[in-house]
Amino acid sequence: MNIAILSRGENLYSTQSLLKAGLARNHNMEVIDPTQCTLVIEDNTPKLYFCDEIVDDLHAVIPRIGASNTYFGSSLVRHFQSMGVFCVVGSEPILQSRNKWTCFQILAKAKIPIPKTILGNAFDIGSVLDMFGDPPIIIKILQGTHGQGVILAETYQSALSTLETLKAAKVRFIVQEYIAESNGSDLRVIIVDGKVVAAMKRQSKQGDFRSNLHRGGTSEAIQLTFQEENIALRAAKALRLGVCGVDILQTHNGPVVLEVNSTPGLEGIETTTGVDIAKTVINYIERNRK
């Protein structure tokens, strides 16, 4: 098969891991940088150029669309979908999962437990804060990743001034209950084709509340409880993502989903768990082409 990875970084761990897994199965593998693509619609027919060369012989693509490139990247994936190319994650699910509020709306509709969350922009800021108990509370911008864009406001004053700043800067945000009992840890679950293929527990570095490995967190492989596995699978299904990373917080009232990531990094989870996730993605493509 001819398979392309849509990625801006050929040398990134995840891209290399997927390349190797595809080559090991004798597929023709290629990395396409979305920023080098030209999307054309002519006579109602979608056409695609990568560095001036027409791309018309692909069987499948693996989108690795970065947060800085969401609009063009998801448009590129939509183009491939219109061309009949199998995409392991679709354009709409990428957009829906990337916007934290949209993602929570979809999870809530599917009755998946999530923390209490309010979309802040349209409200009077004081009344938003009044809808929560005493601080701390969590404030997030809608499109943040790697823990950048998540704020822990420990006092009413810091929450108020942060929200006023975001409002003045016209940055959309959500306000969320702080799950203190998670103690700076969360679970990252990787799902491929409706199955959990790997799971790890991440712990924030001393003094931080964010468990992202990019923020210096540490990780260990874990066995999920039935309930954790169940909500992770339901989250992937609700967002219609063939491949994703679901983040879960453990609360006194059971697990809640915090985020569904359509482009989960493979380095941390593959090194922590020893699972060849890239191989499971290639297997997923092979099953869908048959």
Ligand X SMILES: Nc1ncnc2c1ncn2[C@@H]1O[C@H](COP(=O)(O)OP(=O)(O)O)[C@@H](O)[C@H]1O
One of 15, 17, 212, 263 touching ligand X (CB under 6 A): 212
- Report 147-176 residues binding ligand X (CB under 6 A): 147, 149-150, 176
118 binds, among ligand X, Mg ion, none (CB under 5 to 8 A by kind): none
Q: Nearest-CA neighbor of 261 among 177, 190, 193?
A: 190
CA 189 to chain centroid: 11
**Binding flag, residue 145, ligand X (CB under 6 A):** yes
Instruction: State which H helix or E strand residue 15 sits in.
Output: helix 13-24
**Binding flag, residue 132, ligand X (CB under 6 A):** no
- First vs last Cα of the chain: how many Å apart? 11
244 binds, among ligand X, Mg ion, none (CB under 5 to 8 A by kind): none
The residues that touch Mg ion, with contacts defined as CB under 5 A, are 247, 259
**Binding flag, residue 136, ligand X (CB under 6 A):** no
Residue 154, phi then psi, degrees to nearest 5 = -90, -20
Binding mask 27-56 vs ligand X (x if CB under 6 A, - otherwise)? ------------------------------
Minimal CB distance residue for Mg ion: 259
97 binds, among Mg ion, ligand X, none (CB under 5 to 8 A by kind): none
Q: Any idea which residue has 């990875």 for tokens?
A: 5
Cis peptide leading into residue 113 (ω within 30°) = no
Q: Nearest-CA neighbor of 188 among 153, 150, 235?
A: 235
One of 146, 195, 237, 289 touching ligand X (CB under 6 A): 146
Complex with Mg ion: residue 2 or 105, whichever CB lies closer: 105
CB of 115 to ligand X, least distance (A): 5
E-only strand ranges, 107-147: 117-119, 137-145
**Binding flag, residue 182, ligand X (CB under 6 A):** yes
176 binds, among Mg ion, ligand X, none (CB under 5 to 8 A by kind): ligand X
Q: Measuring CA to CA, how many Å separate 80 from each of 21, 168, 273?
A: 22, 39, 32
CB of 210 to Mg ion, least distance (A): 8
15 binds, among ligand X, Mg ion, none (CB under 5 to 8 A by kind): none
CA 9 to chain centroid: 18
**Binding flag, residue 209, ligand X (CB under 6 A):** yes
The SS3 call for residue 37 is: strand
**Binding flag, residue 273, ligand X (CB under 6 A):** no
209 binds, among Mg ion, ligand X, none (CB under 5 to 8 A by kind): ligand X
Instruction: State which H helix or E strand residue 99 sits in.
Output: none
Distance from C-alpha of 261 to C-alpha of 245, rounded to nearest angstrom: 5
Q: Measuring CA to CA, how many Å separate 269 from each of 11, 42, 193, 200, 219?
A: 18, 42, 17, 7, 8
Residues that bind ligand X (CB under 6 A): 115, 138, 140, 144-147, 149-150, 176, 178-179, 182, 186, 209-212, 247, 249, 258-259
